[in-house]
């Protein structure tokens, strides 16, 4: 019997467990794999976003900016890798300028610190390796890079030290509510809890459906990446974005906290467990990346990988109590 059961051991679930462990709350995290952080959390761009992209007034806008503000100290507390290198959103045309100006005004309204638009001469002083076609950029000094799986693991370990419990290989197969308590059937046996937090990533809609909540659907969307050797790690100094589209923030080029260079991702709807790389996907990533930074030496690629992100039918983070089931909360 627990006060709170958290379903999903990614960035969200581990963060919730860590926070609850600081209080007199008997909490358990249920993860279907054999370790935490092995889903979307292990395979992404490893960026701490500044918060200029989300629509003002959304949960995403508030969480981006507040999360960016607190994460530097959190990483110091947990002794994990983090570097506030700032980010640039490149513009290549007057049409892009409209997008960059829109992001600038959004960011100001969201409370993003230090935002400004830099023109070509200053931009190429900041980043000499950029394509000459890059005419201007939105500069966000609060953008940062991180080791995302290290963050999740550190929070889970700290939470266990604080008295919380983690159950691995514990896929949730059914949830029933009996009075004030939930009974969760897992691969490790039955778990009871007063409250449930649904942080199951690309499976959050399936978990929600177990309590009769069909308020959103998740489309799994794959992104593919190159990781280049440390010989390429100093090619750029900041996170280099292109203007965002409906399917994401586009292909980025960025240093990593380990001194490598990461390039990606593309975006393609797939099955939830399809994290395979493809020749077509990697070719698309490469073509898009050289538009920003033409001299990337892809012969120094040391690893390709793909991650699967959750795209929701709602246009925002879903952080709320379920309207269909009292005591059941979404982090989706």
User: Among the options 49, 105, 283, 330, which is catalytic?
Assistant: 49
Q: How far apart are CA 97 and CA 198, in angstroms?
A: 39
**DSSP codes of every residue in 123-153:** HHHH-TTS-TT--EEEEETT-EEE-HHHHHH
How long is the chain? 332
Q: Are 106 and 56 in contact (CB under 8 A)?
A: yes
Which residues, at least 6 apart from 29, have a Cβ–Cβ distance to it below 8 Å? 5, 6, 8, 9, 13, 14, 17, 36, 156, 159, 164, 165, 166, 167
Q: Any idea which residue has 């010989």 for tokens?
A: 231
> Which residues lie across from 172 on neighbouring strands?
186
Q: Are 48 and 71 in contact (CB under 8 A)?
A: yes
Q: How far apart are CA 30 and CA 7, in angstroms?
A: 5
HSE toward the beta carbon, residue 300, CA cutoff 13 A: 14
> Which residues lie across from 185 on neighbouring strands?
174, 190
Question: Quick one: which H or E segment has residue 189?
Answer: strand 189-198
Nearest to 230 by CA among 261, 253, 254, 257: 261
Q: Are 63 and 319 in contact (CB under 8 A)?
A: yes
Active site residue 283: no
Q: How far apart are CA 90 and CA 92, in angstroms?
A: 7
Q: Any idea which residue has 């990346």 for tokens?
A: 289
Active site residues: 49
């Amino acid at each position: 019997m627990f006060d709170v059961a958290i379903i999903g051991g990614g960035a969200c679930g581990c963060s919730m467990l860590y926070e609850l462990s600081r209080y007199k709350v008997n909490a358990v995290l249920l993860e279907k794999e054999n370790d935490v952080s092995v889903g979307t959390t292990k395979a992404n761009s490893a960026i701490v976003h500044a918060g200029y992209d989300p629509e003002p007034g959304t949960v995403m806008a508030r969480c981006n900016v507040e999360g960016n503000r607190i994460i530097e100290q959190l990483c110091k507390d947990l002794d994990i890798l983090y570097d506030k290198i700032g980010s640039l959103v490149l513009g290549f045309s007057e049409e892009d300028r409209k997008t960059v100006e829109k992001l600038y005004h959004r960011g100001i309204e969201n409370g993003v610190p230090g935002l400004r638009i830099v023109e070509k001469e200053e931009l190429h002083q900041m980043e000499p390796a950029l394509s000459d076609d890059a005419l201007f950029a939105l500069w966000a000094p609060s953008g940062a890079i991180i080791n995302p799986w290290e963050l999740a693991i550190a929070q889970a370990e700290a939470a266990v030290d604080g008295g919380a419990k983690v159950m691995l290989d514990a896929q949730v197969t059914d949830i029933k509510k009996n009075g004030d308590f939930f009974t969760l059937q897992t691969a490790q046996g039955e778990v009871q809890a007063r409250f449930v937090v649904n942080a199951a990533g690309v499976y959050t809609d399936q978990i929600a459906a177990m309590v009769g909540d069909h308020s959103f659907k998740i489309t799994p969307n794959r992104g593919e990446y190159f990781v280049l050797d440390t010989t390429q790690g100093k090619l750029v100094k900041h996170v280099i974005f292109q203007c965002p589209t409906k399917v994401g923030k586009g292909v980025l080029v960025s240093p990593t906290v380990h001194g490598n260079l990461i390039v990606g991702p593309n975006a393609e709807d797939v099955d939830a467990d399809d994290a395979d790389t493809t020749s077509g996907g990697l070719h698309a990533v490469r073509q898009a990346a050289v538009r920003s930074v033409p001299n990337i030496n892809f012969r120094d690629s040391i690893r390709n990988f793909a991650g699967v992100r959750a795209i929701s039918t709602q246009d925002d983070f879903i952080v709320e109590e379920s309207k269909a089931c009292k005591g059941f909360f979404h982090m989706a």
